[in-house]
Amino acid sequence: MKKNVIVIKSYAFALRIVNLYKYLLAEKNEYVLSKQILRSGTAIGANVEEAIGGQLGKDFISKLAIAY
């Protein structure tokens, strides 16, 4: 099975976002901003996965556009 570069990069990005979230909580005691960063940063991967599951080419493009 061929790996999708977008999936790999969005997953790596989500991992970095989670680490940033943990850092902001532990070191800076930042709660509001860190939660928003976590939600928005991990939503990209969710949108990419949904786009891959799209039925038509237009559906894929539309959902991928939301991810970026």
Residue 68 to residue 47: CA distance in whole angstroms: 9
Domains present along the chain, CATH in parentheses:
5-67 (1.20.1440.60)
**pLDDT of 22-56, one tens digit each?**
999 999 999 999 999 999 999 999 888 888 876 66
Quote the pTM value.
0.77
In this structure, are residues 21 and 34 in contact, taking their beta carbons and an 8 Å threshold? yes
Buried b / exposed e across 36-45, counting CB within 10 Å, b at 16+? ebbeebbebb
Which residues, including other chains, have CB under 8 Å from residue 38's CB and lie 6 or more apart?
17, 18, 21
Give the pLDDT band (50/70/90) at residue 2.
low
